[in-house]
Chain A
Amino acid sequence: MCDTCGCSEGEQGYSIAYPDRSVEKVTETQNVEFHTHSHGHDNEHGHGHGHGEVVELATPVLNKNNLLAERNRGYFEAKNIKAFNLVSSPGSGKTTLLEKLIPRFNQIKTYVIEGDQQTLNDAQRIDKTGAKVIQINTGNGCHLDADMINQAVKELNPANESLLFIENVGNLVCPALFDLGEKSRLVITSVTEGADKPLKYPNMFETSQLCIINKIDLLPYVDFDVEVFKSNALKINHHLDFVEVSATKGDGMDKLEQWILA
């Protein structure tokens, strides 16, 4: 079933692969137990039939993801791995940013987990930087979750004292709810997008620690007021740090590098 709209497209989970497809693991879709049982008396809705029992659960719906995210977090902390979750709408420049950022960390082992619905394209681009990279294809899924990261990290087996960048599926809505176990969440906006983005997608800005404003080389050509954008973002999350960059031209990348290493 389609993860986004519920249409039936055949059962599919997510897959993990290296850029050259050398290891490709496909996981099954989630475990909802379906069974046939007789529907003889199920027009009754349990009104006073004497068998009703209330079971208190008081369980967060995202319990499983949150617990697994904390396990990921514990693993990263134990091995002193700084893990970053990069989130944004599609086309803001996440992959290019990583392509330009990774070579700056040539003294530190760097790993990347790429997330997209389909293709190995991004992983293949990152592969050229020399970082060890693995691609998660979510199929119809719209976000990465803690389980996917758990599986990918087991495959990557990162060294201690390293950097791990997780490039989430391009989507400003769904990834906001899913803790991956990261140290920091970095929300990336480009100046071609509109200064009211934080107001329109508050959950993503609220759950991030750093906001990267990318493509600042295009500021002369677009109607983007950086101060209005920052003010909107601060209304949602007053703890947000900001870095203004042009990944392609290099502006601001020193400051970004320092923030990551801090």
Chain B
Amino acid sequence: MHEFSLATNIIEIIQESVKEKNINQVTKVVLEIGELSGVEESALDTALESLIPGTVLANAVFEKTHTPGKAKCYTCNTEYQLSDLFEICPKCQGYEKEIISGKEFNILSIEIESV
């Protein structure tokens, strides 16, 4: 349940990025959450909802893009999609893999309204 730390980080990063600008509010935040990132989305929503009142993000809408998990099999080089880290290669059943995407947790962009 570390999503409160994560939500605080999101708010701080955004506050820092709009510091130089004369803005009224942030209207939209676009987050990228990878399927394998370990972020519990509903806990993050709860955390954000409780932290944004009184900040410049008070009325922001949070949009999320979900990056699917993808691995490359070490044994046969097949690339395959996976939702869980324990999944094995569908071609050769090998478990040795490199995760090539799905662990992202980024703030992609924000939309702001100036004064």
* Chain A interface residues (CB < 8 Å from chain B): 1-6, 30-36, 39, 42, 45-46, 49, 51-65, 141-143, 145, 173-174, 176-178, 198-199, 202-203, 206, 232, 234-238
Contacts and interface: CB of A to CB of B under 8 A. Distances in A.
A237 B36 CA distance: 13
**Residue among A54, A61, A63, A203 having the largest count of chain B Cβ atoms under 10 Å:** A61
25 contacts: A2-B4, A6-B4, A6-B46, A6-B50, A30-B5, A30-B12, A32-B11, A33-B55, A51-B113, A55-B18, A55-B112, A57-B17, A58-B107, A58-B108, A60-B106, A60-B107, A62-B6, A64-B13, A143-B2, A145-B5, A176-B38, A203-B38, A234-B95, A235-B88, A238-B96
Contacts of A53: 111-114
Given A1-B4, A6-B50, A62-B105, A32 B12 contact: yes
A143 B59 CA distance: 30
B77 interface: no
Given A6-B47, A6-B50, A202-B86, A60 B105 contact: yes
Q: Which 3 A-B residue pairings sit nearest by Cβ, starting from the closest? A: A46-B27, A174-B2, A202-B85
A235 B31 CA distance: 29
B65 interface: no
Contacts of B13: 57, 59, 61, 63-64
Interface string B12-44: 111101100000110110010000001000000
A206 B85 contact: yes
A52 B86 contact: no
Interface in B87-113: 88, 95-97, 104-113
B55 A32 contact: yes
Contacts of A65: 9
Contacts of B59: 42, 45
Given A6-B46, A63-B13, A57 B108 contact: yes
B8 interface: yes
Contact of B2 (A32, A54, A177, A237): A177
Task: Describe A's contact surface by its main secondary structure.
Answer: loop
Contacts of A57: 13-14, 17, 106-110
**Residue among B8, B86, B107, B114 having the largest count of chain A Cβ atoms under 10 Å:** B86
B100 to A, nearest CB: 14
Contacts of B54: 34-36
A54 B85 contact: no
Nearest to B115: A51
B51 to A, nearest CB: 6
A62 B97 contact: no
A65 B85 CA distance: 24
Nearest to A65: B9
B74 A238 contact: yes
Contacts of B55: 32-35
B110 A31 contact: no
A51 B25 CA distance: 11
A192 to B, nearest CB: 22
A143 B5 CA distance: 10
Contacts of A59: 13, 17, 106-107
A174 B44 CA distance: 13
A45 B58 CA distance: 11
